[in-house]
């Protein structure tokens, strides 16, 4: 069995975290991942607290294993969500698009472990000084909002820069990715795209089918500097390309993108909706239960590590 310090920190069996994807990472998916030994995450996105509370209750109805909530710091409900996770004593919070520093004392008082998603060494070092428990080093191969550094160079730089567990994310969808992440010094992995095609994921079937059909060049980047988003190419991405070609403003691009993730994930519009997925989409070939995904990844990682060990024998 592969067990890392991340497992001990979070009380999980396997060093696998499910990404907190808005409109995708619901209580059903989070519960399935946690029950299977990983850490399931509810993606709060811009949802109001009452919606997120319902998802928390779903998880607790299905499993007593640790789980988490992702707080998106551009949400209009950040303060209310902080109140909620502290009140509900959610075991783990992951954060994105902002600095959770001012909320750390409240999280600590409530016994909530805090794991921000970072895309640079500077931010990783700053957050460690503030007292976070671990970090997700997310490379630009990931789906959704992305940074500017790829996973392979980002992870070891952050591992070298901090003294807390680092979780690798971006472009990982199988056991080979887990083994590679461990080789880079990470204590585990976070996957989002692979779990879109978990049986328990409640996104529209069209969304899952788009991921299954994706090729190696289909996960493209839209938007502009500082606001890049990786999605599967479709008619919406062509509209973004046209806006970019004529030098459109950020406001125009923002208007085009507003509501498009929901259109894809909930309504199934994979032509004009935002089908957020990472470059690992081309590696996802079938829909299966979260437990089967995790078991498959752990078995493959063990095989890879054993094979590599034999090279020195």
Q: Do residues 46 and 72 touch, judged by C-beta distance below 8 A?
A: yes
Q: Is the pTM of this model over 0.85?
A: yes
- What is the reported pLDDT for 133? 97
Average pLDDT of every residue of the chain: 95
Alpha carbon distance 283, 47 (integer Å)? 30
Domain positions in the chain are: 10-203+281-307, 205-267
pLDDT tens digits, 123-163: 999 999 999 999 999 999 999 999 999 999 999 999 999 99
Q: What is the CATH number of domain 10-203+281-307?
A: 3.20.20.70
pLDDT tens digits, 230-286: 999 999 999 999 988 888 888 888 889 889 999 999 999 999 999 999 999 999 999
Q: How confident is the model at residue 20 (pLDDT cuts 50, 70, 90)?
A: very high
Q: With 90 as the cut, is the pLDDT of residue 227 above it?
A: no
Give the Å distances, CA to CA, from 199 to 21, 110, 123, 133, 304. Answer: 16, 33, 35, 31, 26
Q: Quick one: which of 65, 66, 59, 134 has its CA closest to 95?
A: 134
Q: With 80 as the cut, is the pLDDT of residue 97 above it?
A: yes
- What is the reported pLDDT for 38? 98
């Amino acid at each position: 069995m592969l067990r890392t310090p991340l497992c001990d920190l979070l009380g999980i069996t396997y060093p696998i975290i499910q990404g907190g994807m808005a409109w995708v990472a619901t209580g059903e998916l989070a519960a399935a991942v946690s029950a299977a030994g990983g850490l399931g995450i509810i993606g709060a996105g811009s949802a109001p607290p009452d919606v997120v509370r319902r998802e928390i209750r779903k998880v607790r109805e299905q499993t007593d294993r640790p789980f988490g909530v992702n707080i998106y710091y551009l949400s209009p409900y950040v303060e209310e969500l902080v109140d909620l996770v502290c009140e509900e004593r959610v075991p783990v919070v992951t954060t994105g698009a902002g600095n959770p520093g001012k909320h750390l004392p409240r999280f600590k008082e409530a016994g909530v472990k805090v794991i921000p998603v970072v895309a640079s060494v500077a931010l990783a070092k700053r957050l460690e000084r503030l007292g976070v428990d671990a970090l997700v080093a997310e490379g630009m191969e990931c789906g959704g909002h992305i940074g500017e550094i790829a996973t392979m160079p980002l992870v070891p730089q952050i591992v070298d820069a901090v003294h807390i567990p680092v979780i690798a994310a971006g472009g990982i969808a199988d056991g080979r990715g887990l083994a590679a992440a461990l080789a880079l010094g990470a204590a585990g992995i976070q996957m989002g795209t692979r779990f879109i095609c978990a049986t328990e994921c409640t996104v529209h079937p069209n969304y899952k089918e788009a991921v299954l059909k994706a090729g190696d060049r289909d996960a493209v980047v839209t938007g502009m500097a500082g606001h890049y988003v990786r999605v599967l190419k479709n008619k919406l991405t062509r509209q973004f390309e046209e806006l970019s070609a004529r030098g459109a403003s950020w406001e125009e691009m923002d208007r085009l993108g507003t509501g498009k993730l929901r259109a894809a994930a909930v309504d199934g519009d994979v032509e004009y909706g935002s089908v957020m997925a990472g470059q690992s989409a081309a590696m996802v070939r079938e829909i299966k239960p979260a437990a089967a995904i995790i078991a498959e990844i752990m078995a493959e990682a063990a095989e890879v590590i054993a094979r590599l060990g034999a090279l020195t024998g």
